[in-house]
Chains A and B, each alone.
Chain A
Amino acid sequence: GAVVSQHPSRVICKSGTSVKIECRSLDFQATTMFWYRQFPKQSLMLMATSNEGSKATYEQGVEKDKFLINHASLTLSTLTVTSAHPEDSSFYICSARASGNNEQFFGPGTRLTVL
């Protein structure tokens, strides 16, 4: 099956710093990538949808200036959490979908802890 990787798998940072999380589709071209956030013991909430080469579409309530998303190539999307605060601590999961395919393939997630 299709494989999606995320890097790093775990990151700890100080409040006020920025953190970049990478999402890569390893064996297929992902025309669309999605970023989710999962709070402890809760479900995934879609943050934004990004199409290669265009601006991301953010869900209501998600600050686009805080969560910068770049989908510069068909195999890579990045999520940058700017000026991170402890309340940004969460599990961030990306997924990717190939053109003409209805299925989303999920990455293993990145655990962000902001001190």
Chain B
Amino acid sequence: GDSVTQMEGPVTLSEEAFLTINCTYTATGYPSLFWYVQYPGEGLQLLLKATKADDKGSNKGFEATYRKETTSFHLEKGSVQVSDSAVYFCALTLYNFNKFYFGSGTKLNVKP
């Protein structure tokens, strides 16, 4: 079946540290891949996306590259800030973009 696997959290980093959150997927077709961010008490916000192999999504200093050969879409940021503290969800969707499959989420804590 279709699924997304994320590294378990929480991830605790100091400000300005490098961030990597791993995400791998299993898909029966050719998926589009997404990273969403959820701040405390809020809904999900789209952070970035990639719709085909080798595409790189980027936003607010975050990047992720669609790697078909390794079925991965790892999230990276070169220098995290305290304001990046949130839960990050990797997700995929297929075909008509109706159904999203979400990973379990990774909580990021950034300390000053």
Using C-beta atoms within 8 Å of the partner chain, give the interface range for chain B.
10 to 19
The answer, yes or no, to whether B45 is at the interface (CB within 8 Å) is: yes
Q: Is the CB of B98 within 8 A of A49?
A: yes
| Bound form: Cα–Cα A103–B34 in Å | 10
Say which one of B64-72, B73-81, B99-107 lies at the interface with A.
Answer: B99-107
The 8 A CB mask of A44-56 against B (1 = contact, 0 = none) is: 1110010000000
| Bound form: Cα–Cα A102–B100 in Å | 11
Q: Which residues of B contact A45 (CB under 8 A)?
A: 102
Q: Is the CB of B43 within 8 A of A108?
A: yes
Q: Which residues of B contact A43 (CB under 8 A)?
A: 89, 102-105
Q: Is the CB of B104 within 8 A of A108?
A: no
Q: Is the CB of B97 within 8 A of A46?
A: no
Q: Which residues of A contact B89 (CB under 8 A)?
A: 43-44
A95-115 CB contacts (< 8 Å) to partner B: 95, 97, 102-109
Q: Is the CB of B43 within 8 A of A109?
A: yes
Q: Which of A49, A97, A106 contacts B44 (CB 8 A)?
A: A106
A108 smallest CB distance to B (angstroms): 4
Most buried by A among B43, B45, B49, B89: B43
Q: Which residues of A contact B49 (CB under 8 A)?
A: 103
Q: Is the CB of A49 within 8 A of B99?
A: yes
Q: Is the CB of A104 within 8 A of B97?
A: yes
B12 smallest CB distance to A (angstroms): 16
| Bound form: Cα–Cα A46–B91 in Å | 12
A86 smallest CB distance to B (angstroms): 21
| 17 A-B pairs in the complex with CB atoms less than 8 angstroms apart | A4-B43, A41-B105, A43-B89, A43-B102, A43-B103, A44-B102, A102-B32, A102-B93, A103-B46, A104-B97, A104-B100, A105-B46, A106-B36, A106-B45, A107-B43, A108-B43, A109-B43
Known: A44-B89, A49-B99. 18 other contacts (CB 8 A): A4-B43, A6-B43, A34-B98, A42-B105, A43-B102, A43-B103, A43-B104, A43-B105, A44-B100, A44-B102, A46-B99, A46-B100, A93-B44, A97-B97, A102-B93, A103-B97, A104-B100, A109-B41
